[in-house]
Amino acid sequence: MTVRVLIVDDHPVVRSGLVALLGAQPDLEIVGESASGEEAVQLAAQTAPEVVLCDLRLGAGMDGVAVTRALAGLAASPAVVILTTYDHDVDIVRAVEAGAAGYLLKDAAPAEIAAAVTQAAAGETILSPDLTERVIHTMRNRTAGLSARELDVLRLVAQGLSNRDTAARLFVSEATVKSHLIHVFSKLGVDSRTAAVAAARAAGLID
């Protein structure tokens, strides 16, 4: 059985390399390649691939997560494997939540990439034990129970605003901001503004 594959990457050299790598596999057939998310969705509708190997960041327009969501709406939705240089927990969780079958880094061995495509076509999930553990940890952190106002404070702190400036922006007292931050620290298990922002970003609570 030959697996039909669509390759999506905005870097021509990387895309050509993947086409050459996977096209050389006897059980894989490259049915198309694309540099943008929008084009990828159109090509997938036309060529009906079984697996889409997609970069996470695709320049302007749709990213790999948006492509994954869009492809899930097709009548014959392909499995999507995200292949990226970005090893960020929040990106991994976004991809998994969007329905991606797997998440691989571009420094993976060629044989591992080819195997991931075959596994995805067979309905398997391609996520290493380490990444699986990180996804679970991050998704649990998302249930930390931060209130909407606590998230507002955290977003402004992440932008570099002081407690005074944050208070002015939210029309509350500086003491109220400090109180919100104390609650945030407790819920996220951290003891500083920097650590709180880092933990919230890793958990996907703020951009």
Taking only the tens place, the pLDDT of each residue in 151-201 is 899 999 999 999 999 999 999 999 999 999 999 888 887 888 888 888 888
* Domains of the chain (ranges, CATH numbers): 3-140 (3.40.50.2300), 148-202 (1.10.10.10)
Tell me if the pTM is above 0.75: no
List, for residues 133-149, the tens digit of each pLDDT value.
666 666 665 656 788 88
Per residue in 2-52, pLDDT (tens digit) is 999 999 999 999 999 999 999 999 999 999 999 999 999 999 999 999 999
Distances (CA, A) of 26 to 33, 113, 118, 124: 18, 14, 11, 20
Q: Residue 137: what pLDDT?
A: 66
- Convert the pLDDT of each residue in 109-122 to its tens digit: 899 999 999 999 99
Give dist(CA 149, CA 151) in Å, integer: 5
CA pair distance 160, 149, nearest whole angstrom: 17
Phi, psi of 20 (to 5 degrees): -65, -45
Longest pairwise C-alpha distance within the chain: 67
Q: Does residue 89 have a pLDDT over 70? A: no
Top-confidence residue, 127 or 191: 191
Cα dihedral sign, 95-97-101-102? positive
